[in-house]
Structure 1
Amino acid sequence: MNTQTFSILVIDDDKSMRQSLLDLLEAAGWQAAALSRATAAVDRMAEIQPDVILSDVRMPGMSGLDLLAALDKNTAPPLVLISAHGDIPMAVKAIQDGAYSFVEKPYEPRRLLTILRHAAEQNRMKQSNTRLKERLFKLSGLDRVLLGQTDQVAHLRQDILDLAETGATVLIEGETGTGKELVARALHDLGTDAGAPFLALNCAALSQNTFETEMFGVAGETEGRLLTASGGTLFLDEICSCPLAVQAKLLRVLEDKHVLPVNAQHPVPVSFRVISATNEDVTLAVQEGRLRQDLLFRINTMILTLPPLRQRRDDLMLLTAHFLDEFARVYETTSPEISQDDLAALLAHDWPGNVRELRNVCERRVLSNRRGGGSMAQAIRSDQHLDDVPDTLREAVAAFERELIAKAVKAHKGRMDAAAEALGIGRRTLNEKIVKLGLDKDALL
């Protein structure tokens, strides 16, 4: 017996039929509401929130087919149509247009209840999957970069969630600071093999002379990085800056799906999901001979383009408020109010460093506010003059980074992925900074 309680909205202009359906559904344990007009259903859908809709076809004003066309297919519950005047062509057309099912009057009660229960169960499952995706999206850290309400960002979020499940090869395009590595990690974390390794390679730093030793390993001595990451995701960052000789070796691995360790007699099989990223025009890089065309064809099965912040000005205030609140929590202070002058400064700036730059500006604004002063304009100007910082202040910058990282590690109780997300950097970058700055993570906790 089905113990789950479902809700249903019945729409029929025939009062006796409406009451008959309500009696049947309530006897079967449903929570049922009824309306005599489809136009009222459109207005009250958000209020009633049914698991399924059962609607007559021929009614005064808006018909059941008109209601089907008016519903948002992405958010509306399934619609089951019922009619005494229905015929096969009408039923086929209704289902092609998105109806869940079509039932003729007089209906057989058990069959109708079975159809409605299946429709409601499918809707509950869809809602559950949507909530799970939203939760995973937040846990992945993407909400920190792709927070926003513009259509461009909303579509990008959905593309990332959809592609994560497919395991397809993805090329991520976007300017510096748009969050390409966070997107790559999210594609991995939201995929079916989230527990598998994630190997991020800065292609600009790969050396032709040491590539095979480091990546393939040496037989009987060391295991190469590609072997240890097999079964997971290979992230090729700055792919257009990869030396051509290394590109050839990478292409061979991707095509042959095996590596030959140095001094080994036999190749070892490997498999990866390949995600690449670039802040350059790949077509131009191919034309200039800096990127092999055959390698590009291997890595661009699907392309995600991250928009620069200057194209997302409608999201600017939302992102600013989010980052100000975030850094206020990290530094245990209050978030500064955004004045009209602050708003003008934010909108006037071109944001060449994109979301990463905005994060830095908001952090600087919170720190100055904690000391009782500052403005957004001053915080932005500090970013503009970073290139003019003399060498004698390098230690001061390192001290600032040391303090910020220490606070983030403490705030997130040693959870390094969470600390990296709060800082707006990748986990690999955070580990490198901890080593470089001489921080003892255990001593911070």
Structure 2
Amino acid sequence: MTGGTGLRALIVDDDKAMRASLCELLEAAGWQVEATARAASVAELLPPLAPDVILSDMRMPGMSGMELLASLDRATAPPVVLISAHGDIPMAVEAMQNGAYSFVEKPCDPRRLLSILRNAAERHRMARDRDRLKARLARLSGLDRVLLGQTSDIRTLREDVLALAETDTPVLVTGETGTGKELVARALHDLSPRAGKPFVALNCATLPDTRFEAGMFGVKGETTGTLTASDGGTLFLDEICACPEPAQAKLLRVIETREIWPIGAHAPVKVDFRLVCASNEDPERAVAEGRLRADLLYRLNTMQLALPPLRARREDLALLFRHFLDLHARTHEIAPPDPGPEDIAALMAHNWPGNVRELRHVAERRVLAARRGRGSVLEAIRADTAFSEVPDTLREAVAAFERELIAKAIQAHRGRMDAVAEALGIGRRTLNEKIVKLDLDKDALL
């Protein structure tokens, strides 16, 4: 076989000598060719071969060329060119009426046959590419409604999500709390060929060491584990850096083997899932600190998507805010309040530590105030400040508490680290490690 044209043909003819002759003719012209003696086998051959054209004999034992033509789905099947030594005008007319691309009598002029096949194949490829483009544009339009925004970072993110959705490549999504990591994970699933299968989300910070196997693998005859539930679909592991160390080794083994052992089972069970993970901290730092296995990270971050914080995409603030206002106004059955210049200024002045999630909360507070005939964006931001800082998990809450406590001690003792460590009841080395881990800037506090 040669691949000069890149075009693919499937030849169907019960005559062995004719099959060989047609294969030789097409291969010499640079085609990729497969051949079969039975028309009944075409249905099995089409998906793996994906030919651009089918060249079929008209009269064959079993299924004839006309019957083959009638069995194919015209919307998806490649064009069919029929060839016969017994053809006449009525037969040719019937073949064309039944959907054949062309009809050729034996013996045929090789150049004419090649020209007909090439035209049929190229027409099929153009139609297929056009359909793919239409589907891609429709998916892009849907993605545009999910990942709303016009900044260059968001446009690039949409393009990356659309491209990666078509693959089974593991993806690691990073970004601050509230930037929409699970939203991106769901988009990767919803736009993928796995969209009809389950999307299973799991927060790694909640994985108990003692019940890992039962929860993840299931118990034979009793419960279905998380991994089994995600079979065929997408498994989303949130806060991967918080995954308990014993669970990391077991998870790595599943990722490598795609097998699980339900408790009580006598044989492993195969699982097929697409893996998407997320982290609101730098996974490389987690590896350096010994909290995340380097070999696990290697398996997870084949591709990485970094989500920008809301403060880095201020051009999108007004657009996003109006979107959330419309959303909440429909929920509460009122007309959305129209943000004025002072409202837009308040949006731009705020730093949005809670990112898009905080913006959504502020929009809902503004709508609820509008129901009572009052309110402003600034008031909604101030009312939400106490809530936007609340961490989502216990681990984040502990880190936030430690950060605040150490910062206050540094300020109270004016940077004298021995005194700070003594006041906190910890060693100086432990204090230094926590300052690095919590990303505290001592100079900025003084």
Coarse TM-score class (shorter-chain normalised): 0.5 to 0.7
Equivalent in the alignment of 1:400: none
SS at match of 1:171: strand
Cα contact 2:358–2:388 (8 A) shared by 1: no
CA pair 286-174 structure 1, distance change in 2 beyond 3 A: same
Provide the C-alpha distance between the structure 1 equivalents of 2:242 and 2:320, rounded to a whole number of angstroms: 31
SS at match of 2:193: coil
- The equivalences for 1:200-211 within 5 A come to 200-211=201-212
Unaligned segments of structure 1, at least 5 residues = 1-109, 390-445
What is the aligned residue count?
276
Amino acid at match of 2:138: L
Amino acid at match of 2:279: T
The two structures, once aligned, show a CA RMSD in angstroms of 2.7
Alignment partner of 1:125 out of 131, 134, 159: 131
Provide the C-alpha distance between the structure 2 equivalents of 1:152 and 1:301, rounded to a whole number of angstroms: 20
* TM value normalised by structure 1: 0.58
Cα contact 2:354–2:389 (8 A) shared by 1: no
Equivalent in the alignment of 2:151: 150
Amino acid at match of 1:377: L
CA pair 354-169 structure 1, distance change in 2 beyond 3 A: same
Provide the C-alpha distance between the structure 2 equivalents of 1:278 and 1:388, rounded to a whole number of angstroms: 18
Provide the C-alpha distance between the structure 2 equivalents of 1:122 and 1:217, rounded to a whole number of angstroms: 43
CA pair 209-347 structure 1, distance change in 2 beyond 3 A: same
Amino acid at match of 2:161: I
Equivalent in the alignment of 1:286: 287
CA pair 226-121 structure 1, distance change in 2 beyond 3 A: closer
* TM value normalised by structure 2: 0.58
Provide the C-alpha distance between the structure 2 equivalents of 1:383 and 1:173, rounded to a whole number of angstroms: 25
Deviations 1:365-415 (A, max 9, x none): 0110111111100000111123899xxxxxxxxxxxxxxxxxxxxxxxxxx
SS at match of 1:193: coil
CA pair 119-284 structure 1, distance change in 2 beyond 3 A: same
Offset of residue 213 of structure 1: 1.2
Deviations 1:315-352 (A, max 9, x none): 11111111111111111111112122111110010001
Equivalent in the alignment of 2:365: 364
Equivalent in the alignment of 1:159: 160
Amino acid at match of 2:301: N
SS at match of 2:235: strand
Unaligned segments of structure 2, at least 5 residues = 1-115, 391-446
CA pair 173-117 structure 1, distance change in 2 beyond 3 A: same
Instruction: Report % sequence identity.
Output: 56
- The equivalences for 1:126-275 within 5 A come to 127-137=133-143, 143-144=145-146, 146-275=147-276
Deviations 1:84-105 (A, max 9, x none): xxxxxxxxxxxxxxxxxxxxxx
Offset of residue 228 of structure 1: 2.7
Offset of residue 305 of structure 1: 0.8
Equivalent in the alignment of 2:309: 308
SS at match of 2:201: strand
Offset of residue 158 of structure 1: 0.9
Offset of residue 232 of structure 1: 1.6
Cα contact 1:136–1:190 (8 A) shared by 2: no
- The equivalences for 1:371-410 within 5 A come to 371-386=372-387
Amino acid at match of 2:275: V
Provide the C-alpha distance between the structure 2 equivalents of 1:238 and 1:136, rounded to a whole number of angstroms: 27
1:324 corresponds to 2:325: yes
Provide the C-alpha distance between the structure 2 equivalents of 1:119 and 1:211, rounded to a whole number of angstroms: 49
Offset of residue 240 of structure 1: 0.5
Cα contact 1:165–1:190 (8 A) shared by 2: yes
CA pair 328-223 structure 1, distance change in 2 beyond 3 A: closer
Cα contact 1:188–1:198 (8 A) shared by 2: yes
CA pair 359-217 structure 1, distance change in 2 beyond 3 A: same
Deviations 1:72-120 (A, max 9, x none): xxxxxxxxxxxxxxxxxxxxxxxxxxxxxxxxxxxxxx9xx99997897
